[in-house]
Copies of this chain bind each other. A is one copy, B any other.
Amino acid sequence: MAKRIIVIGSGAAGMSAASAAREASPDADITVFTEDEDIAYSPCAIPWGIEGRSAWDEIVMHRPEFYAEKRNIKVLTKTRVESVDGEAKTVTAAGGTYPYDSLVIATGGRVFVPPITGTDLRNVFVVRTVRDGRNIQAALKDVDRVVIGGAGVIGLELAVSLREMGKDVTVIEMMDQVIPRIADKDMADEIQRHLEDRGIKFVMKAPIQAVNGDGKVESVTAAGQEYPCGLMIFATGVRANLDIPKALGLDVGQLGALIASPTLNAYRRGRLVPDVFVAGDVMQCESAVMPGATMSQLGSTAVRQGRVAGNNAAGGEKMLFGPVASPWVSVIGDKQIAGTGLSLGLASWYGIDVATGKAEGLTRARYYPGGKELKVKVIADRTTHRIVGAQIIAGEEATGRIDWLTSAIVNGMTAEDFLVRSENAYCPPTSMVKDVVISAVEDLCRQL
């Protein structure tokens, strides 16, 4: 009998899992359950959708009809899974009971909204789904002043989009820097100044205490001050959506997310559950930099996890998911900021002593027109000299460089070894003859 595979969740992880299951098994019976009305899109696209730079219809990669016709995958949208019976191996949803041989949990995350008053007022939003994006876009028509709660990359990308739309934008952040946790303060401050130059206001070290209004938001209180606004968006980070995993009794790790094996099987009371697989923001990962757990919560990670989970759920030739350095990049106004591995903050969280190297240059040869700024920071463990992290601010081409540094990190290269064995392709219109990445590692070696 054909294997019955049920996937819960239709984001990058869930839909990749369903497609990988189909690739591994031409005859499996594959069903995706999702509460969402849209599927197969990247939440990272939403700031660009709100601004109108990308059309909502294009952001959504495929519709359920595509999966039905092209991949023989059933996708049930707006369908909440009510319960899962791990013994009987059934899912109950929309009044029906569906048996499975393999279950993939890709329930993702939910935006963390602080437990304060007023978050249920009209014109208070989170930003996660296309529906959120459309609702924000519609509500913005009658609004001049917006408060964004949280200065992470999504918050900042949103701030730029709304500013481009002519809004008065204030970002309120609890920490003393933008992009906290994954970016260092020196790099983050440069981004913050860039946004201030574009007219975006920042309120730092200010926990949000209340959302105020009569039916509809009128102001936000943070660190004792009141900030008037007609619309408020929480971009305060994502927490794993554990309702179903908890009901199934699956093991949750120290970071508040599901633990998974390298085959992406879930665990229950320390034992691997052979018929339950996990992918995406709902799970924690192993760090490729330091022994221990880490949260990745990136679309690119979710896609890779989905492929492994779906393939293994369908009984394909076993695939593994490795530890992660979690490279990220964000385009914020005219600048790109990217990072990988440990920031100084994360290094301190792991208790390791680090050295940093920095270099500045251009994305093209000095004399070739159109070159943009390129600033690279690299971080190494003082004891082992291994490169453990890097951050880049650039006018262009940060992404490939951070992927390059990520490869060095996951391969355990020391700073010295990087200089012996790393090379950069060069031509005047695309890099300096010695790429700034290499100059930064040279500086790092001087500090070690």
User: Which positions in A face B, CB cutoff 8 Å?
Assistant: 12, 42, 44-45, 48, 53-55, 58-59, 61, 153, 157, 288, 298-301, 303-304, 307, 319-331, 336, 338, 340, 365-369, 396-404, 406-408, 410-411, 413, 419-431, 433-435, 437-438, 442
Question: Are the C-beta atoms of A411 and B404 separated by less than 8 Å?
Answer: no
Whole-angstrom CA separation of A369 from B53 in the bound complex = 7
Q: Given the complex, which residues of B lie within 8 Å of A327, measured CB to CB?
A: 423-425
| Interchain Cβ contacts under 8 Å between A and B, 14 examples | A44-B428, A48-B428, A48-B429, A54-B367, A59-B367, A300-B433, A300-B435, A303-B433, A304-B423, A397-B397, A400-B402, A403-B437, A410-B421, A411-B421
Q: Given the complex, which residues of B lie within 8 Å of A319, measured CB to CB?
A: 419-420
Whole-angstrom CA separation of A431 from B406 in the bound complex = 16
Whole-angstrom CA separation of A448 from B123 in the bound complex = 54
Whole-angstrom CA separation of A420 from B401 in the bound complex = 20
How near does chain B come to A283, taking the closest CB pair, in angstroms? 15
Q: Given the complex, which residues of B lie within 8 Å of A54, measured CB to CB?
A: 365, 367-369, 428
Question: Are the C-beta atoms of B299 and A426 separated by less than 8 Å?
Answer: yes
Q: Given the complex, which residues of B lie within 8 Å of A330, measured CB to CB?
A: 427
Known: A42-B365, A44-B426, A426-B298. A407 touches B411 (CB 8 A): yes
Whole-angstrom CA separation of A365 from B331 in the bound complex = 13
Whole-angstrom CA separation of A436 from B48 in the bound complex = 22
Question: Are the C-beta atoms of B423 and A300 separated by less than 8 Å?
Answer: yes
How near does chain B come to A448, taking the closest CB pair, in angstroms? 12
How near does chain B come to A249, taking the closest CB pair, in angstroms? 29
Question: Are the C-beta atoms of A336 and B430 separated by less than 8 Å?
Answer: yes
Known: A12-B433, A413-B411. A300 touches B367 (CB 8 A): no
Known: A329-B425, A401-B400, A425-B402. A320 touches B420 (CB 8 A): yes
Q: Which of A368, A403, A413 has the most CB of B within 10 A?
A: A403
- Given A45-B365, A299-B426, 14 extra CB contacts under 8 A: A45-B368, A45-B428, A48-B368, A54-B368, A55-B367, A307-B442, A319-B419, A322-B421, A327-B425, A396-B397, A398-B430, A403-B437, A406-B425, A411-B421
Q: Given the complex, which residues of B lie within 8 Å of A423, measured CB to CB?
A: 300-301, 304, 324-327, 403, 406, 410
Whole-angstrom CA separation of A299 from B424 in the bound complex = 10
Whole-angstrom CA separation of A86 from B407 in the bound complex = 43
Q: Given the complex, which residues of B lie within 8 Å of A422, measured CB to CB?
A: 403, 406-407, 410
Whole-angstrom CA separation of A329 from B55 in the bound complex = 34
Whole-angstrom CA separation of A326 from B423 in the bound complex = 7
Whole-angstrom CA separation of A54 from B396 in the bound complex = 20
Question: Are the C-beta atoms of B367 and A58 separated by less than 8 Å?
Answer: yes
Q: Which of A53, A367, A427, A431 has the most CB of B within 10 A?
A: A427
Kindly report which residue of chain B lies nearest to residue A370, judged by CB atoms. B53
Q: Which of A396, A410, A413 has the most CB of B within 10 A?
A: A410
Whole-angstrom CA separation of A396 from B328 in the bound complex = 19
- Contact partner of A424 among B300, B408, B424, B429, CB < 8 A? B300
Whole-angstrom CA separation of A367 from B53 in the bound complex = 9
Q: Which of A396, A420, A424 has the most CB of B within 10 A?
A: A424
Q: Given the complex, which residues of B lie within 8 Å of A340, measured CB to CB?
A: 425
Kindly report which residue of chain B lies nearest to residue A339, judged by CB atoms. B425
Whole-angstrom CA separation of A331 from B368 in the bound complex = 12
Question: Are the C-beta atoms of A428 and B366 separated by less than 8 Å?
Answer: no
Q: Given the complex, which residues of B lie within 8 Å of A438, measured CB to CB?
A: 304
Known: A299-B426, A407-B422, A423-B325. A399 touches B48 (CB 8 A): no
